[in-house]
Structure 1
Amino acid sequence: MNEIINDGNKTDEIEDFREKKDEKGFRHQLKKSNIFKKQFHHGIVKYYNSDFLADPSVSTVKHTLDESFGKRYSPYAEIVFKCKRKKLFKNIHHYPLREFEFVIVQVDNGIDVGTIYSCGEEAINKFHTVYREEEPEFSIIRHMNFDDFQKHKKNLEDEIRALAQIKAMVKEFNLEMKVTETEWQFDRQRLTVYFTAPQRIDFRELVKELARLFKTRIELRQISSREEAKRIGGMGPCGRCLCCTSFVSEFTHVTLDHARVQQLANNVAKLTGYCGRLKCCLLFEHDIYVDAFKNYPPLNSIIELPEGNAKLVKVDIFKNQAYIQMLSTGLYCYLPYPDMLRLWENNKIHPPKEEDIKKNLKEEFGIDEIDLLEDEMI
C-alpha cells in the first residue's frame, strides 16, 4: 500500500510493508503488527516504527537540528527497544535524527536495532534528569538502510516462530512460567526470552535445549507484572497512556502508606493498575502531601475536647481545616486549623502508635492483599 502525503512544500511517499505468508496464524500476526513505514526525504530513505508514528502527516516530529542548539546536533538520543526498554546513546557521528526512526546502535556484545524515542533538547533534558548525567557507554552507528531493514524484518518473523517453539518446549519441560515475548538481537548474537512466573524457575535444562536449537546465546529474563504491563501498554483510567509506557524510566516501590498519606479511598480496585499492583501515580503527589501534613497531627490521632474525645479522620490541606469524629456520638464535624494548632500546643492531641497504624491497614485491606499489592517479584 502506497500513499502520498503532502507536508507543506515537501511530498513524502509512505510505503507500508505487509507480507502474506502461508501459515494462517503467522499471516494474522504480521498484518496486525503493521510495523514498518518507509519515508523518502529528498532522496534519503528512512525507516520509521509505526508503533509510535501512526501518521507522519499529523505527528509532531522533533529534529536533533534545533534552533535552540545554535544549529548543532544533539549529542544524545534516547532509544527504545522491544518490550519498551529505553536507554540513552551518544550521537558521536552527529546524525540528523528524527523521533520514531530506526537506527543501528552498539550494545554489550554486538549491534542491535532500536527506535529513536527522544532527541534534541528533550534528550538533553533527560540526560540531566532521568539519567543523572551518567555518560552513555554506547553510541549510534548509522541509520537503518535497506539491507538492515530486510534483516530486521526477517528477525521479527523468526521471533514469532521462536515464540511458538519455546512455548511448546516450556510445556514439554513442565515449567511453571509464561513466555510472553522473544527478541532477536540484530546481529543474532543473542536471543532474549521474556517470561513471567510466580517464583524463581530452574530453567537450566531449557536453556541448554534452546542453545542447541537456535545455536546462539540464550538469555531468559524474568519480568515483573509491572514490566509486563509496560510491555503491553494501554490507556489508564485518567484517559492517558500508561505512565510506565510513556515517561516512567524506572519502577519505584509503592506501598499502601502512599495512599493513606494522601487520604485516598480504601478501594483496592481503584488503587491498583492493569499490572495488579498499586498505581505508580500514587508517588507523584506524595511528597507534596507529606510536606503539607507536617503542620498537622497524624490521622487517627485522639483529640481531647470539652465535649469529649474525638478522632482525626481527615485533613483538607486546601481549605486548611481538619475533620474529626466524636467517639461518644459518632458525629462528624470540622475543626479549623488555628483551633487544632492551639490544642496541639497544649498537648491535647495524642498521635496513634505505629502498631495501631499497621493494624488499621490490615483491617481495611486485609494482610494478604497488602502483601500481594506491595510485593515486587523480579
Structure 2
Amino acid sequence: MGCQSCAVGGCGSKAKITTDAGAEVATKTAGCSSGGCSSGGCNKLNSFDWLSDMTPGSLSMTPSGIAVVEVKFKGGRKEYFRNVHNLDLTTGDFVACEMASGYHLGAVSMQGDLVRLQLKRKHVTVNDDTKVIQRVATARDLEKHEQAILRDLPSLYRAREIVRELKLQMKLSDVEFQSDNTKATFYYSSEDRVDFRELIKMLAGEFKVRVEMRQISLRQEAGRLGGLGSCGRELCCSTWLTDFKNITTSAARYQNLSLNPAKLSGQCGRLKCCLNYELDTYVDALRDIPTVEKPLETQKGRAFLQKTDIFRKIMWFGYSSESTWHPLPIKRVLEIVALNKQGVIPESFDVLTPIGEREVVTAAALNADLTQLDKKYATRSSSSRNKKRKKR
C-alpha cells in the first residue's frame, strides 16, 4: 500500500512492468524514491533522527519508566503516545493509537532520546492521561485504514455541496476519517463565526459517523493542501515549517522590496513566511547606512536618493534634471551631509573634501558583471546564427 501520511495519498503505490523475458516486476510509480515521494507529499514535515544510532537510555523514558513515541498522521499532524506494551517498533511502522473514541492508524515518525528533546522544546507534559499505542497495525487494520482514506475525497465534495445548500460562509479544505470509521474530522477556514449546528446534523446523517468541525487558519490550510511557491520549491509550511510567526510589511521595506501584494503574498493569501528568513541580516546591515532625510545639495543641483545597495553599502542619487543615477559610497554621503549642515555646498559628487578620504566607485565598475553577462550571451547568439547559416 502507499504511504498514508501525505495529503495526496497513493504515493509509493506499486505498478507492474513487463521485462524483456516476459516476467512481471512490481515497481514504485513515478515520483517516488526510496519510499518517499519527491514531490514532498510522503516527506511532509519529516524530522531527521540524528540520535537514531545511539542506544536508548533512561532519558528517553517518562518518569514512570514508559517510552514515548512520536506518531505522524495525515497532513503531517504529529502526536505523542506512550508505548506501555513495550512494542518493538521501527520508524515507519503503522501502529493503532488510542483516541477519544476508538483507534486511529499512524506511522511512527520518531522514537528514542530525540522524542525527549522534542517534548522539552514543545513544552509537552507526559503523564498517565497521555494516550497509548495499542498494537502494531495488522493486515486487517491496514485494509480498513485504506478504505477510510478512500472515503475522504468523495465525502469532501459532498460536504461542500451541503455547505452551499445551507449558504454558510466557510471553506471546507480537508476531511479525515478515523481508521475505524467511527469519526470524521472536517477542517475549515472562515473569516467570521459560523453556526454549523445544522451542518453537523446533516453530515452525521449523511456519513453515519460522529462529526468534528475543526477551524484552521489560512496558513495551516496551505500547509495541509501543499503546493509550489513562486520560488519553484514546495511550500515551507507543508514540508518543514510548523511555527507561523507574525509577518508585517515592514519586513519588505527593510529589504527594499516592492510593496506589491501580488508578489509578497503566498498561496494562502497572506504575506510570505520567507520574508522573515533574511530580515535579521538586513537589519544588521542597515545599521551602517545613514538615513538621508532630505536631498543632497551640490552646485549642480539637488540630488535625491533613488536606491540603496544594502550589502555593498552604496547609495544611488539622481538629479531631477537628468535620468542618470550616481553611485556614492556611504563615507562620501556622510561627507556631503556634514558639509550641507555646515552650509558648504560642494561642486559635485566627485570633488574631494577635507573631511577624509573617499572610495572611488564608478558606474562601469558596478555594472561589470552585467557587461560580462551581455557579452557572454551575445557570443552565444552570434555563434548560433552562424550555425544556422551553414545549415542553409
> TM range, normalised to the smaller chain?
0.5 to 0.7
- Deviation, structure 1 residue 234: 2.3
Cα gap change, 1:174 to 1:269, in 2 (>3 Å): closer
Q: Which amino acid aligns with 1:54?
A: C
Match of 1:43 in 2: none
Q: Are residues 1:200 and 2:193 paired?
A: yes
Cα gap change, 1:155 to 1:72, in 2 (>3 Å): same
Q: Secondary structure at the match of 2:143?
A: helix
Match of 2:361 in 1: none
- Deviation, structure 1 residue 247: 0.8
Contact kept in structure 2, 1:104 and 1:140, CA below 8 Å = no
Contact kept in structure 2, 1:63 and 1:98, CA below 8 Å = no
* Structure 2 gap ranges (5+): 15-27, 38-42, 61-66, 342-392
Q: Which of 215, 222, 237 is the matching residue for 2:215?
A: 222
- In structure 2, how many angstroms separate the alpha carbons of the residues matched to 1:271 and 1:237? 10
Q: Which has the larger radius of gyration?
A: 2
- In structure 1, how many angstroms separate the alpha carbons of the residues matched to 2:87 and 2:306? 58
Match of 1:369 in 2: none
Contact kept in structure 2, 1:236 and 1:242, CA below 8 Å = yes
Contact kept in structure 1, 2:95 and 2:108, CA below 8 Å = yes
- In structure 1, how many angstroms separate the alpha carbons of the residues matched to 2:176 and 2:36? 31
Q: Which of 97, 102, 111 is the matching residue for 1:105?
A: 97
Counting matched residue pairs gives 304
Contact kept in structure 2, 1:178 and 1:196, CA below 8 Å = yes
- Deviation, structure 1 residue 184: 1.9
Match of 2:10 in 1: 34
Q: Which of 32, 37, 41 is the matching residue for 1:54?
A: 32
**Counterparts in 2 of 1:1-378, with a 5 A limit?**
33-34=9-10, 54-56=32-34, 66-67=52-53, 69-70=54-55, 78-87=70-79, 98-107=90-99, 111-117=103-109, 131=122, 133-135=123-125, 138=130, 141=133, 142-188=135-181, 190-197=183-190, 199-214=192-207, 216-298=209-291, 301-307=293-299, 308-327=301-320, 329=322, 331-342=324-335
**Structure number with higher strand proportion:** 1
Q: Render the CA deviation track for 1:69-100: whole Å, top value 9, x for unaligned.
A: 24659666554332333445566766665554
- In structure 1, how many angstroms separate the alpha carbons of the residues matched to 2:158 and 2:55? 52
Q: TM-score, normalised by structure 2?
A: 0.62
- Deviation, structure 1 residue 281: 0.8
Match of 1:20 in 2: none
Contact kept in structure 1, 2:12 and 2:32, CA below 8 Å = no
- Deviation, structure 1 residue 149: 1.2
Q: Which amino acid aligns with 1:291?
A: D
Match of 2:22 in 1: none
Q: Which amino acid aligns with 2:10?
A: N
- Deviation, structure 1 residue 304: 3.4
- In structure 1, how many angstroms separate the alpha carbons of the residues matched to 2:327 and 2:68? 54
- In structure 1, how many angstroms separate the alpha carbons of the residues matched to 2:253 and 2:207? 50
- In structure 1, how many angstroms separate the alpha carbons of the residues matched to 2:36 and 2:156? 35
Is the deviation greater in 146-155 or in 111-120? 111-120
- In structure 1, how many angstroms separate the alpha carbons of the residues matched to 2:101 and 2:294? 62
Is the deviation greater in 53-62 or in 266-275? 53-62
Contact kept in structure 2, 1:258 and 1:282, CA below 8 Å = yes
- In structure 1, how many angstroms separate the alpha carbons of the residues matched to 2:150 and 2:35? 28
Cα gap change, 1:123 to 1:338, in 2 (>3 Å): farther
Q: Secondary structure at the match of 2:140?
A: helix
- Deviation, structure 1 residue 241: 1.9
- Deviation, structure 1 residue 193: 1.0
- Deviation, structure 1 residue 167: 2.6
Q: TM-score, normalised by structure 1?
A: 0.64
Query: What's the RMSD between the two structures over aligned residues?
Result: 4.1
Match of 1:7 in 2: none
Q: Render the CA deviation track for 1:312-331: whole Å, top value 9, x for unaligned.
A: 34332322222233456454
- Deviation, structure 1 residue 144: 2.4
Q: Render the CA deviation track for 1:125-158: whole Å, top value 9, x for unaligned.
A: 65565x3x54467466143222321231232233
Match of 2:353 in 1: none
Contact kept in structure 2, 1:92 and 1:139, CA below 8 Å = no
- In structure 2, how many angstroms separate the alpha carbons of the residues matched to 1:318 and 1:76? 47
Is the deviation greater in 78-87 or in 175-184? 78-87
* Structure 1 gap ranges (5+): 1-14, 18-31, 39-49, 349-378
Q: Render the CA deviation track for 1:326-364: whole Å, top value 9, x for unaligned.
A: 45645422221223345667895xxxxxxxxxxxxxxxx
- Deviation, structure 1 residue 58: 8.4
Cα gap change, 1:303 to 1:116, in 2 (>3 Å): farther
Q: Which amino acid aligns with 2:34?
A: P
Is the deviation greater in 168-177 or in 105-114? 105-114
Q: Percent identity?
A: 34
